[in-house]
Amino acid sequence: MSSPGQTTSQDPGISTPHTGAEILAAVLALAGALLLGVAPSTALIALSLALLAIAFAVRPAWGPPLLAYSLPFYLEPRNLGSMAFSMPELILLAMIAGVSVRLVRKVATGRKPGLKAMATPLDGPIALFLAAALISLLASELMRVSLRDLRTLVLEPVAAYYLAVWFIRQKTDLHRLLGGILLGGAAVAAIGLYQYFLTTNVVDVEGSRRILGPYLSPNHAGLYMGRMIPIALALAIFLPGWRRRTVPLLAMLAGAQLLTFSVGAWLGTTAGVLLVLFLWNRRSALAMGAAVLVLLAAALPLSSIERISSHFSLARGTSFIRIQLWEASIHMIQDHPIFGVGMDNFLYQYRGGYLSPEAAAEPNLSHPHNLILNFWLQMGILGVVSVGWLSLTLARLARQSWHSQLDPTERATLAGFAGAMADLVVHGMVDNSYFLVDLAFLFWLLAATVVILWKRHSADPLLPPHGRIE
């Protein structure tokens, strides 16, 4: 085994030759995804889903990359009759349909998949996470919105996790998943930069023009790009051969992130970047930390911009509202300590009796802007426990894999995951962290990458050989 700082030069992954069926699956998957993105009618949407389902029946590993790329566009739904579905949801449904066909064919030919091969090391915390989400329904006053969040933020993202873990077997499949994730982030940055320099579709607030990307809020764009930047940085510094592609992407993401003027996003991104640099080279991390301090000192003149200066005042502006919101959330927990208030019920409870007169300027806040408070109120105390268990398990798996004999791509993947999680925690302490469709799916797809690598390098004798990536 190599030390954490070393990498192996030989790729132990096995690349299988491209067959005619695999090429056909790739063509159908890309054609279906493109058609789904532009289809103006129900008939064409149905056709795109049929193409995707056929492609995934032949090659399920094409699903997670396409799903990952579609995440930032979930706010542009597709209509099937009288019902509207997000693009990630439709791609996931096509994946499930294709995999079901594949499973039926296997059973028909006598090749039954073993339950042991389907087990993952996150099954325990996932079971508790699902139980917490279901139990939280007992507290919901508006069941319709809770059931929607249960479907789109819990059940579907967890299903995506399992499909990724089960069907990403080859190294090229893992590369495609990373590529799909980063292409989605590139789209967010490109749309935001286009808005800022060529349109008026920005938010003018507190003396700053803030980009939106494909979202309704600059903070949402900052949340998503905060996950992307550490992943892109990890690929750039751990994989010299990828730098021609990742450095321009990193520059575009960083520029767009600055133009969100989201202080929480800046803090979260900085934490993620520092952790990636620390994992690569501790001296580089220290140098970067010193550079950040110098930049902060040089940026002091910017503190006169109202968008930034308002964060330093506890008597007005953003920080004042946050403190009032946290106090109201704590009072809400005191009244609902076990089950919380139900998924997506925070807004109605907040406006119904917890909104203080001092914070009345912003009455439409739909979450408490704090990771722990958010999970507690959305999913009850069991939600907090399940997320803690899940986080510790992922950290253990990542640590075990990090000390294995990893190739550079695998090490970059784990470093990028660690940086993205650092952003999630730091930014999540003052904003959302999980309860948005794109963030929920992204979390579980990144968790899948950790489990995939752990399965590949695990010495666990109970792990079936065909459970490892090949």
Task: Measure the N-to-C terminal CA separation of the chain; round to a whole number of Å.
Answer: 19
Three-state secondary-structure class, residue 351 = helix
What phi and psi values does residue 210 have, to the nearest 5 degrees? Answer: -115, 130
Look up residue 112 and give its two tokens. Answer: 């039954």
pLDDT score recorded for residue 316: 58
Look up residue 388 and give its two tokens. Answer: 């803690």
Instruction: Identify which of 412, 418, 403 has the alpha carbon closest to the alpha carbon of residue 454.
Output: 403
111-117 long-range contacts (CB < 8 A, ≥24 apart) are 114/464, 116/462, 116/464, 117/464, 117/466, 117/467
CB 222 within 8 A of CB 257: yes
What is the spatial distance between Cα 404 and Cα 456, in angstroms, rounded to a whole number?
Answer: 10
Residue ranges per structural domain of the chain: 20-113, 135-467
CB 232 within 8 A of CB 257: no
| CA distances from residue 77 to 91, 365, 368 in whole angstroms, order as listed | 12, 23, 26
CB 193 within 8 A of CB 175: no
CB atoms inside a 10 Å sphere around CB 302: 12
Look up residue 45 and give its two tokens. Answer: 């949407």
pTM higher than the cut 0.95: no
| CA distances from residue 133 to 87, 304, 431 in whole angstroms, order as listed | 23, 44, 21
DSSP 10-27: S----PPPPPHHHHHHHH
CB atoms inside a 10 Å sphere around CB 281: 13
Three-state secondary-structure class, residue 132 = helix
CB atoms inside a 10 Å sphere around CB 196: 19
Running DSSP on this structure, what letter comes out for residue 309? H
CB 234 within 8 A of CB 278: no
What is the spatial distance between Cα 431 and Cα 292, in angstroms, rounded to a whole number?
Answer: 22
Cβ partners under 8 Å of residue 436, min gap 6: 153, 220, 223
CB 110 within 8 A of CB 75: no
Look up residue 290 and give its two tokens. Answer: 């010193």
pLDDT score recorded for residue 103: 86
What is the spatial distance between Cα 237 and Cα 248, in angstroms, rounded to a whole number?
Answer: 13
Helix locations, 199-309, DSSP H: 218-238, 243-258, 263-280, 282-298, 306-309
| CA distances from residue 288 to 115, 261, 267, 458 in whole angstroms, order as listed | 47, 21, 14, 33
CB atoms inside a 10 Å sphere around CB 279: 23
Look up residue 400 and give its two tokens. Answer: 């075990």
Running DSSP on this structure, what letter comes out for residue 316? S
CB 259 within 8 A of CB 213: no
The kind and range of the H/E element at 393 are helix 371-402
Give the type of residue at 132.
A
Walk along the chain (470 residues) and give the pLDDT tens digit of each residue: 334 444 443 333 334 446 777 888 889 999 999 999 998 889 999 999 999 999 999 999 999 999 999 999 999 999 887 888 999 999 999 999 999 998 888 777 776 665 567 899 999 999 999 999 999 999 999 999 999 999 999 999 999 999 999 999 888 999 999 999 999 999 999 999 999 999 999 998 877 899 999 999 999 999 999 999 999 999 999 999 888 989 999 999 999 999 999 989 999 999 999 999 999 887 776 777 776 666 665 555 555 555 555 555 455 567 788 889 999 999 999 999 999 999 999 999 999 889 888 878 788 889 999 999 999 999 999 999 999 999 999 999 999 999 988 899 999 999 999 999 999 999 999 999 999 999 999 999 999 999 999 998 875 533 444 444 44
